[in-house]
């Protein structure tokens, strides 16, 4: 086990002097930071079993598997797992994304051994009882039926299909009704056996526990875990942004609202462009009452129930898009107004004052996001996932202040092409 450890420091932002990073013999990375102002601990982490591994005909398999982990193990049935958590006032849950599955939980510091034992039990020895799997399948299918009637969700799904055509990011992580119906208990067992293991696993523990003790407790329950068959994460295929406009409407009869999602590719989280794009996005459709987009579409024109822009950046190709919910009769007017605002954005850029306002917002809200153990755990995982460096949050204010209006304009022109927009709509 290799470890970089540090004494507790009074600095409010996490950094290299108060984050402990240890690598267990089997490759699991443990990150920990003490906070004795709270009697609780928060654990969070991820492991390499995301929906990238789903076959097309069984899309949603990774998500289904993660959702089934707490339905019963070799040692505990469904009721015993939840009784153990409830008796300690603790919580534990799993989720799935494109590249990984993840977990999070909280407990009083004295119950950290119990929480880690439950985490190890559900990760390593789930038994996928058939009755529970069928109950879970019914819940997933109900969720997909609700999604099919949600104009916002369906506009987002169609947007991804258009933007990422031919790329794994075009596929929804929770699958489709027909692919969920295709998944058997044997599929869940096989996916778990092949893809669950220590490779690519990262665990963050923050709260009223000494980091050295946190590392030792993780090593006790997960340090001997091995899975020789666990595959390497497959490389993402090349992403080719659309070279012409793409548009599609998804019909949902009987709706009184239509949803619009329009935009194009964005930077990856690791890209040098990311901070300039994030600050530009704040001006475009976030700051105050949803930025310039909210001002022109909602406040001045009264066309939308909501309108804002988003920058979705992760390990792979990102998306930079604008979302709006409107009366179905106002779809074309709204699309044209948003396009005009995007043209203005890539022509004029942002003013010094708009940028300064967003910079102050970014810097001011960072300490607020790190007030809770959960917020710090999330920050530690970001540091590891995107290789930001242990002192990233100490350096953050300087990095934000260094962005200029010219940087924002350059990155806006790099990613936003008003002549090649992807436009997805859903509604009547």
Confidence tier at 2 by pLDDT (50, 70, 90): low
The string of pLDDT tens digits covering residues 106-124 is: 999 999 999 999 999 999 9
Bridge partners of residue 102, in order along the sequence = 46, 95
The string of pLDDT tens digits covering residues 208-237 is: 999 999 999 999 999 999 999 999 888 899
322 burial level (CB within 10 Å; 0-12, 13-18, 19+): buried
Confidence tier at 5 by pLDDT (50, 70, 90): low
pTM: 0.91
SS (H, E, C) the chain: CEEECCCCCCCCCCCCCCCEEEECCCCCEEEEEECCCCCEEEEEEEECCCHHHCCHHHCCHHHHHHHHHHHEECCCEHHHHHHHHHHCCCEEEEEECCCCEEEEEEEEHHHHHHHHHHHHHHHHCECCCHHHHHHHHHHHHHHHHHHHCCHHHHHHHHHHHHHCCCCHHHCCCCCCHHHHHHCCHHHHHHHHHHHCCCCCCEEEEEECCCHHHHHHHHHHHHCCCCCCCCCCCCCCCCCCCCCCCEEEEEECCCCCCEEEEEEEEECCCCCCCHHHHHHHHHHHHCHHHHHHHHHHHHHHCCCEEEEEEEEECCCCCEEEEEEEEECHHHHHHHHHHHHHHHHHHHHHCCCHHHHHHHHHHHHHHHHHHCCCHHHHHHHHHHHHHCCCCCCHHHHHHHHHHCCCHHHHHHHHHHHCCCCCCEEEEEEC
- Residue 323 phi/psi, 5-degree rounding, is -115, 145
Domain residues of the chain, as ranges?
Answer: 2-222, 246-427
The first and second tokens of residue 31, run together, are 């990150």
The string of pLDDT tens digits covering residues 301-359 is: 778 788 999 999 999 999 999 999 999 999 999 999 999 999 999 999 999 999 999 99
Tell me which architecture the domain covering 246-427 has in CATH.
2-Layer Sandwich (3.30)
Integer Rg of the chain from CA = 23
> What pLDDT does 298 receive?
77
- Residue 286 phi/psi, 5-degree rounding, is -130, -50
> What pLDDT does 14 receive?
94
Segment 180-194 mean pLDDT:
97
| Cα-to-chain-centroid distance, residue 175 | 17
From the CB of residue 236, how many other CB atoms can be counted at a distance below 10 Å? 15
CB 342 within 8 A of CB 321: no
Average pLDDT across the chain, whole number: 94
Domain covering 2-222 assigned CATH 3.40.30.10 in the classification: no
The string of pLDDT tens digits covering residues 146-185 is: 999 999 999 999 999 999 999 999 999 999 999 999 999 9
The first and second tokens of residue 152, run together, are 């916002």
The string of pLDDT tens digits covering residues 28-57 is: 999 999 999 999 999 999 999 999 999 999
> How many CA atoms does the CB half-sphere of 305 hold within 13 Å?
10
The string of pLDDT tens digits covering residues 90-104 is: 999 999 999 999 999
The string of pLDDT tens digits covering residues 124-145 is: 999 999 999 999 999 999 999 9
The first and second tokens of residue 360, run together, are 């102050």
**CA–CA separation, 167 vs 162, rounded Å?**
10
Segment 242-248 mean pLDDT:
95
> What pLDDT does 303 receive?
80
Closest of 194, 318, 227 to residue 266, by C-alpha: 318
The string of pLDDT tens digits covering residues 8-24 is: 444 689 999 999 999 99
- Say if residue 6's pLDDT is above 60: no
246-427 shares the fold of 2-222: yes
Confidence tier at 1 by pLDDT (50, 70, 90): confident
> What pLDDT does 10 receive?
46
């Amino acid at each position: 086990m290799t470890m970089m450890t540090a004494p507790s420091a009074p600095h409010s932002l996490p950094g290299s002097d108060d984050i402990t990073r240890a690598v267990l013999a089997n490759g699991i990375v443990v990150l920990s930071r003490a906070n004795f102002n709270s009697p609780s601990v928060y654990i969070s982490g991820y492991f390499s079993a995301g929906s990238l591994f789903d076959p097309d005909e069984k899309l949603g398999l990774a998500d289904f598997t993660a959702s089934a982990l707490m339905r019963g193990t070799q040692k505990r049935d469904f009721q015993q797992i939840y009784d153990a958590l409830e008796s300690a006032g603790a919580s534990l849950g799993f989720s799935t994304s494109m590249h990984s599955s993840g977990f999070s939980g909280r407990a009083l510091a004295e119950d950290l051994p119990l929480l880690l034992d439950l985490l190890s039990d559900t990760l390593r020895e789930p038994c996928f009882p058939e009755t529970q799997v069928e109950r879970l399948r019914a819940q997933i299918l109900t969720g997909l039926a609700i999604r099919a009637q949600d104009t916002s969700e369906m506009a987002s799904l169609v947007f991804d299909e258009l933007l990422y055509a031919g790329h794994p990011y075009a596929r929804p992580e929770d699958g489709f009704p027909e692919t969920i119906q295709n998944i058997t208990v044997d599929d869940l067992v096989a996916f778990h056996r092949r893809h669950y293991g220590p490779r690519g696993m990262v665990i963050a523990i923050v709260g009223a526990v000494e980091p050295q003790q946190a590392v030792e407790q993780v090593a006790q329950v997960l340090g001997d875990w091995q899975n020789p068959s666990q595959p390497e994460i497959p490389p993402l295929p090349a992403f080719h942004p659309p070279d012409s406009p793409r548009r599609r409407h998804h019909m949902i009869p009987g709706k009184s609202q239509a949803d619009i999602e329009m935009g194009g590719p964005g930077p990856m989280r690791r890209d040098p462009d990311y901070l300039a794009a994030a600050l530009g996005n704040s001006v475009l459709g976030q700051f105050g009452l949803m930025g310039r987009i909210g001002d022109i579409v909602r406040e001045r024109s009264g066309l939308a129930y909501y309108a804002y822009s988003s920058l979705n950046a992760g390990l792979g190709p990102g998306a930079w898009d604008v979302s709006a919910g409107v009366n179905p009769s106002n779809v074309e007017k709204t699309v044209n107004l948003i396009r005009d605002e995007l043209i203005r954005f890539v022509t004029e850029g942002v003013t010094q004052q708009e940028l300064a306002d967003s910079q102050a917002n970014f810097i001011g809200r960072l300490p607020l996001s790190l007030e809770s153990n959960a917020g710090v755990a999330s920050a530690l995982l970001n540091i590891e996932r995107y290789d930001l460096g242990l002192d990233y949050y100490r350096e953050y204010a300087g990095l934000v202040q260094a962005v200029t209006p010219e940087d924002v304009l350059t990155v806006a022109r790099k990613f936003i092409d008003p002549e090649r927009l992807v436009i997805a709509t859903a509604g009547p």
